[in-house]
Structure 1
């Protein structure tokens, strides 16, 4: 039987994360018992001290035990914790050495959504891939430059460290863990009971590109603003370099350092974001939108759109167009 420690952090933690995770593992036990098998999990809510209480003003969660009492566990699950991320980490720093100790003793560790900030604070993610909510990507990169943030992924799995994308995509990670520890049959059954798409592996369709401007390179900011105002035109990287009186190599290096994108990737993301908005709210077809955002080659447009959103333009329009929803 696997011992699962679901952390009960201090602060504004996600009660939905805690409740859904607790229920999914315990319901798997119910399925197994109903099939005449032994339960797979012992699940406990674990806090730093006995008087810890987590409340959203409507419901209160009382932990089962404390980190001092849990000498060994098999899986640590960190829920999302909302608020100022540096303060969240500081408030919950007592968990950090315990998480590291458990991992070194053989436990695996999973973070849900922005729970990745607490997991990254342990140093265990340095040099490894990590997913979190796309809306927190800039802050995460600033705080943890040694971690490879893959903000388009729903799930990462590296060396017993698991992370998930934003919000309710944590359910996909829970399913993934159920499958790993209790088998595919239990995961499929859970996906049907909880009505979760077991095959979903990307949060790209949900990302709203915000321009990555939380840096202090004023010249690069001007280039970003120029791109965003003129994305419909055919932009030339060499012309942008000349305007800044920089070599292409220096310009590319500064742009990537400031935005975490190459200049070409940035242009593509700006164009695709504009296309997404048109597909969501307008009545134009895909080809008309393609021309509006500066593409003339339908294959090139489709390939770039799919690379960024993990969907074709037509699939995106059919799923998110307000007119399709009204039909």
Structure 2
């Protein structure tokens, strides 16, 4: 099947490579964005929708964080203009993201944006783009595991880790995708935007890619904040982690704390950022998720085991929390039979 791109102009795409980059994301974006041309979806005499170049501070061989070398095709100093810049995901070590390591690259990103380029990040690539200051006061998304670290460094950026794709900026020129393989969604979005929805759908079909239409909430694991310094609240959290399924868990925590009800709720919410009842509900839902993934227990039984006597209420709460009904969640995340020992 051959298709004609929505635009007759080939757009130049600069795919940024730095030592922190993850090879799977970088190479995957390269192949998917080139998919239309590689798989013969563009008519022989038609221009391909994208010309993709791996760029970096220096040309030549570059060893990425996984130890795999790639070839940087063009120095950024030699690129006066480009249409799209994509920063792939980075692997952050225990020390986290160290700002100020790539001043030439950050300055170049600003110049490209001033010249009209779109700036796109996959997952943790947002750490580098945020150094430009262009995302300040705007919405973005980043891998949910890096949310706290990102917010500490860039408090002016509003992050939504549960969202797959966020498009912002006055020209909708700032694009970022969320956790891990949601770069698929970003690449398909760019293809749809510049080469047409039919082209994007055909590329998705040939690569067997699926849009993450349920968002990322189903993938996120709740971990209550524990570094708040309130020992009374920390003790309540530790007790609740083992006893969340008891009837009226908030009342039990208040009794154990010896604090007045209003004082306990105020301190708990201030320390964890979540009200006690919602905290207990999140723990229950996390346990229910594991049971749906790893057992064949009926939903009604799981509801009872995590502390809900009303299965209908449990189903509503589960969907409100994860974005998916329990049955749909099990279908998506259960371990397939062939993988079970």
Q: TM-score, with normalisation over the residues of structure 1?
A: 0.86
Larger radius of gyration: 2
Q: What is the rounded CA distance, in whole Å, between the counterparts of 1:94 and 1:64 in structure 2?
A: 17
Q: What is the rounded CA distance, in whole Å, between the counterparts of 1:215 and 1:92 in structure 2?
A: 33
Shift of 1:56: 5.9
Identify the match of residue 301 of structure 2 among 271, 280, 288. Answer: 288
Task: Name the residue aligned to 2:127.
Answer: 117
User: CA, structure 1 residues 29+204, in 2 after alignment: closer, same or farther (shift >3 Å)?
Assistant: same
Identify the match of residue 163 of structure 2 among 153, 161, 165. Answer: 153
User: CA, structure 1 residues 295+94, in 2 after alignment: closer, same or farther (shift >3 Å)?
Assistant: farther
* 1:72-115 C-alpha deviation (Å, 9 max, x unpaired): 11211111111336445443343222222322332111111111
1:1-327 to structure 2, matched below 5 A, reads: 1-11=10-20, 13-30=21-38, 31=40, 33-34=42-43, 36-51=45-60, 53-55=62-64, 59-84=68-93, 86-159=96-169, 160-198=173-211, 200-235=213-248, 243=257, 245=259, 248=262, 251-252=265-266, 258-322=271-335
Name whichever of 198-207 and 150-159 sits farther off: 198-207
Name whichever of 112-121 and 83-92 sits farther off: 83-92
Q: What is the rounded CA distance, in whole Å, between the counterparts of 1:54 and 1:196 in structure 2?
A: 28
Aligned pair count reads 325
CA contact 1:138–1:212 (8 Å) conserved in 2: no
Q: TM-score, with normalisation over the residues of structure 2?
A: 0.83
Question: RMSD of the TM alignment (CA)?
Answer: 2.9
Unaligned runs of 5+ residues in structure 1 are none
Shift of 1:8: 0.6
